[in-house]
Structure 1
């Protein structure tokens, strides 16, 4: 690509916080020769592209800044030959690092070329630019994983800015930053996957109508960024000691409720007017905490101890006082007047926690931190800490905490939904009227029928200044509504006058969508609500159904979950994170192989991982990310996935490419083998969300076992690459490690592999299913020991720690399949996934109920309700029940070996990686031990069809010629 364009931006900061900046260029297209024209474009952080007022695309895909991805659009069909044409781009610059973006600087790069190679337009100083004046940059962080919630005032911005007729004479010229190839975007790479879909879906019904009151005053403060300079450049955990102070101003005395609706961060204790309030005085369960206080007329000093570890580091405060005429936050110190209504005291000490590695402990004795809360009785007392006092920059203080105002409800009244309000879900129907109740806000709750991931659009009619708060969440059942604490993907939309429409540029995942109407002078009319489901484009090739309706429902939620978690990479979930977790993607890829058969998405996932070696040679567990975090098993699963990609595609060139990166990181992992011959590392030594003994410092058995398997993968990949020396070295290391595991981590008396050896030399007393599963699955357990632990797989002892997540169940099912216990797989699927179905699930849960963070609330069955690492049934029902599995690289040899397990019939399809599909249908009679199998497949496949052992019957095959 011959780039002639320059990177451009506007004046001001290089990397402004949460800035939406708009760009326009008007040019005349020639009267001929514009039928073929392409526009190449990229931006930091994300863009939305319009050509002559038509939205054409969004991007770019996530990438490392030193390998910035650009997109190419065919635009000839949108250009007006011989006329003025407009290209308009809105760039959303995050200004902070997230779990899918590393902070760079604001920038836009674009180049338009005609079919003959003529460069017609480039980004340069002639482009016009303006901040999006209707977007509030002070909206809160969604979470540490995401960027920012959305707050837009439609009355402050002309929505016609994207069109050809818009007058941009009041806009400034853009600033040229430098040529393509400038830092931080030193390499530009073309997009390596197709554009994502935008499939329009509609809500299916109005679930409820509620009038209520909420906090009259709220704010969200980015404590982390305000207290620790440089926090916006990374997403690592920060620990600190410090306080946030403000005054609550009221016109007269009032009894008030203070609410703190964060995710467990930034609240250790507080004081109001010098009265210390410990956590024992707060009511409500984590993360909702409340306290009732008496406010005096005038200013009331609020001091909050925000000390502790924090990832997001957001303090959310709500104030409700029925009898107060006016409520406001005010600066507690006159010398900060006009600068901020909040100030910090501290930090007295802080440390950045680099992923469970060695770090200095916070000194809680510095600066009088421990005594401060009790000694500050009034604002003047803060002057004692003058060296630690600072006003909080307004950019870290949100104008409102919309999430809190949507979640906390006072004087609530549930109202029967009028028939006309159901029009809100009917496409092209009559307008739905949202009623207004004096002194109250009105919430209507919409159900989309199942979870989706994408972009919200709506068309409404309202008076200027009417506030529409949109808030999506994943789950409710009966009267229980699981609000998504720790994730704020709200949208506050302040209306202009009249009929208007809006499309959000921010991706969200939800099933239920609450619309709260506030400050309305008249009822609001809803003319339409739509959602653009956006995912990696896939054809619904994979199919499965059988004689058990429950398994059919489970297969369907597994399919839908996998699709929702295929964005520009595989992601863990469409709501809470949208993060490419490296280890998750291994299992997600295997499921996708049986559903969709697409490979480009996995190839880009695998290629992204080695880019993290500048953060750690052990490779990061989520990429590209500002969190420098390592889960060794996730790196191991990445290497295993590279090998499985080769088995799926027979792409030897890609295997050789990946082997270089596998060899690099394995060499560094082998440096962590200690004097005992075992793998010993400080890190996030995770495998399952369950109380197994997996300390972050010490020898963890499941990691050692998976390292053996990974070294054996390196042996096979090295042979493909022709690296005989490397293969031999990794093979020797694998054998030595396996021997050390069997010598030191086997408990002969208990006949189990122990979970770990702690850093102080203590042998774990915990016995878990997880450790036995991986020892069996990887072949580390051999002979009599394998026979012993395989019995545990078949009948898990009650005193063992049981499997706690569907992710771990994937490995359990693999181990069961290896020992021929497919019936146990189906029984477990029916039990655990059947429980999800019984609770109304339309997608697969991240966790099994009633453990870890679920324990505090028995109604909370899981954190994330859509998690693709949990989609195992779609893989195992295709592989074991239909019986379709590859026996050679590239699926050149395929075996059909169904395992009926009491089912009367099953039928379905599995995509073939070279195109086409394998169709299988079978019927079985367990009483007579007979089965008929019908198979259709491409003719260039060598097909082996087997009846189950002990069955007789008929096999019919039909071959299809390839084009």
Structure 2
């Protein structure tokens, strides 16, 4: 195997091994004797923005763990002569880094080669200079009424201390110093790689993120605006819909002034989020950056993107008048390409809007990883990620980010056998039920993604480790129980403290957790069978049979014809347990209709949230009872539209997050269960179509990506029988 790096070393301004916050600017000069195509490999700890001769090349590295740390590859054509690579690198410490990032200490790495393989430029070699930045101070401003937030630093930046033009070829860097080589290059699983290596490099396996310029609309005074010394002006700008992006502030003059950019998901009245599309009378409270102009014509863009619907500019005049010439933003996020469509002849007017909001939520909750929410955490949780990945498969056919997520969760596994609940993460958190959902996610990848067999096979030993962990917590009755370690989160439910089923919180068996264990075991057996490991499948089938009997004996209530949430009636009943009971086949066939009726009408059942209603819909689709999907189960989503949401909230009002990944699944249900198109064989090699009827939805049309190409499907219901027509639009 050829080495991607042959000459470069990691560099920094000093050889101080401590992890300290700092920003460095690097410049590396080189000469090309002829016109050539340059291939550049680059990484940094923590983040970099790379330029060549003043033109931006890219950002990175993609969020990953130190033991599989990403480097990026860029290719660009250059002319003969002198050229300059320039990079700004931010090194975060434990106080300034976002939890989703895992870092060691400041470092920068680059190696560039010509088309014929000749080394042109490498960190650790000649031609490199570095400057310690003094213009940026990290800060985290938490306004009143704020919530848990772990997205890392916000910025206070002084324009007078920025060496403007520093990325250009002709910039004079004579006053900068020579960097120090601090560590050799280590490629994961190649010679020299050990567990003690600082950065165990692997090539990035996802595309570059979007960087599209967008304009704000003004909710008040329009820009440009000039503010006199001593004057204060506030201007609120509206992006028109929820967005994630890099704000771009353009200013002229104004030495000694201060401009605060405050970002909010919604306007607030007395600290409470208001009607989301009510633009009058509200205020913007939230995270903020502060820019102090240096007096020239300057453009400020924070190093990391921000999440917002609204941005407030608070302009405080200083020694000289300051003109805010404009505020735009560069929208970012994973570059999804929406391919699927779904429509109902004479269907509800909101149907298109629901799908648009689904996709906007997916876009806003995916970057270099899947994210639960872009404003508060930006963490890739298993529970959220599974639902996002399913929407990605169905609506775009793109499995790259999902494959990466499956691998990352596998890499997060602990000696106990469990995965971490969220990863990458610099702060360890464990939710045992999420480890079970990861096994289902592995099977999803197997079903939807061509060429995923190696990834799936590599995950199965880890999946077995998860099952074995739960097996160590079986009670004498044969079900999982006792005071389980860690956080047994299932769903945000009124009366379930911390989202934990009350029996589990009391150290007793929970039906929902046991049924999730059963579902994960079923998934594991199917995968082992599919890969030809019949002995392992048979071994676990015996365990599955015993667990099924134990669950039925412990939780099934013959009188109520429902699954209890706990070992006796005093713990009540939940929609969660009934859904997982239908999905796993535990509920007796003779009781299915009664359970479905209870799901629709029994108000005493603990209710699922936006998140876990997904599993109710999955269960109802399995038994062919989706007739009330729109009128009943998706009513909370329709309510959110009435409240002006442009992305889906974490939960019903009052909600912390206005943009939450686990709520963006209705389009998946429309395509997979209503239209009825789903994989029949691994890698979507074949598909099957089994539509489900929804009240009043008699004529359906949809397109969706499959391995064979873009498939157009029409479904016409004639009584209780669907007439299906298919056409392969593209290959």
Q: Note the C-alpha offset of 1:920.
A: 3.0
The equivalent of 1:37 in structure 2 is 38
Q: Note the C-alpha offset of 1:80.
A: 3.8
Report if the CA contact (8 A) 1:130-1:172 is conserved: yes
Change (3 A) 1:615 1:624: farther
The equivalent of 2:607 in structure 1 is 802
Partner-residue secondary structure (3-state), 2:366: coil
The equivalent of 2:421 in structure 1 is 621
Q: Note the C-alpha offset of 1:785.
A: 4.6
The equivalent of 2:278 in structure 1 is none
In the alignment, is residue 552 of structure 1 matched against residue 352 of structure 2? yes
In the alignment, is residue 689 of structure 1 matched against residue 499 of structure 2? no
Q: Note the C-alpha offset of 1:751.
A: 4.2
The equivalent of 2:153 in structure 1 is 148
- Which structure has the greater CA radius of gyration? 1
Q: Note the C-alpha offset of 1:191.
A: 0.5
The equivalent of 1:766 in structure 2 is 572
Change (3 A) 1:477 1:554: farther
The equivalent of 2:544 in structure 1 is 734
Change (3 A) 1:120 1:435: closer
Partner-residue secondary structure (3-state), 1:185: coil
The equivalent of 2:133 in structure 1 is 132
Change (3 A) 1:952 1:89: closer
User: What is the distance in 2 between the residues matched to 1:900 and 1:800?
Assistant: 23
Pairwise mapping of residues 363-382 of structure 1 onto structure 2 (< 5 A)?
none
Change (3 A) 1:488 1:41: farther
Alignment partner of 2:10 out of 4, 7, 10: 7
Report if the CA contact (8 A) 1:441-1:518 is conserved: yes
Gaps of 5+ in 2: 187-192, 275-281
User: What is the distance in 1 between the residues matched to 2:700 and 2:539?
Assistant: 46
C-alpha RMSD over aligned residues: 2.7
The equivalent of 1:449 in structure 2 is 240
Report if the CA contact (8 A) 2:214-2:330 is conserved: yes
Change (3 A) 1:595 1:477: farther
The equivalent of 2:189 in structure 1 is none
Report if the CA contact (8 A) 2:11-2:179 is conserved: yes
Change (3 A) 1:111 1:10: same
The equivalent of 2:327 in structure 1 is 529
The equivalent of 1:207 in structure 2 is 219
Pairwise mapping of residues 471-620 of structure 1 onto structure 2 (< 5 A)?
471-476=262-267, 482=273, 489-521=287-319, 524-546=322-344, 547-614=347-414, 616-620=416-420
What's the TM-score, normalizing by structure 1?
0.68
Change (3 A) 1:91 1:731: same
Change (3 A) 1:817 1:106: same
Change (3 A) 1:552 1:477: farther
The equivalent of 1:170 in structure 2 is 175
Pairwise mapping of residues 805-820 of structure 1 onto structure 2 (< 5 A)?
805-820=609-624
User: What is the distance in 1 between the residues matched to 2:229 and 2:173?
Assistant: 41
User: What is the distance in 1 between the residues matched to 2:233 and 2:202?
Assistant: 48
In the alignment, is residue 918 of structure 1 matched against residue 711 of structure 2? yes
The equivalent of 2:646 in structure 1 is 842
Task: Note the alpha carbon deviations across 1:111-140, whole angstroms, 9 max, x for none.
Answer: 101111112111116421122110114556
The equivalent of 1:71 in structure 2 is 72
Partner-residue secondary structure (3-state), 1:781: coil
Q: Note the C-alpha offset of 1:716.
A: 1.4
Q: Note the C-alpha offset of 1:37.
A: 1.1
What's the TM-score, normalizing by structure 2?
0.89
Report if the CA contact (8 A) 2:691-2:722 is conserved: no
Change (3 A) 1:492 1:956: same
Task: Note the alpha carbon deviations across 1:229-258, whole angstroms, 9 max, x for none.
Answer: xxxxxxxxxxxxxxxxxxxxxxxxxxxxxx
Change (3 A) 1:752 1:615: same
Q: Note the C-alpha offset of 1:886.
A: 3.2
Report if the CA contact (8 A) 2:139-2:154 is conserved: no
Report if the CA contact (8 A) 1:816-1:825 is conserved: no
Q: How many residues align?
A: 693
Deviates more, 1:50-59 or 1:767-776: 767-776
Q: Note the C-alpha offset of 1:664.
A: 2.9
Pairwise mapping of residues 235-634 of structure 1 onto structure 2 (< 5 A)?
417=221, 421=222, 424=223, 432-435=224-227, 441-476=232-267, 482=273, 489-521=287-319, 524-546=322-344, 547-614=347-414, 616-634=416-434
Report if the CA contact (8 A) 1:898-1:948 is conserved: no
Change (3 A) 1:952 1:912: closer
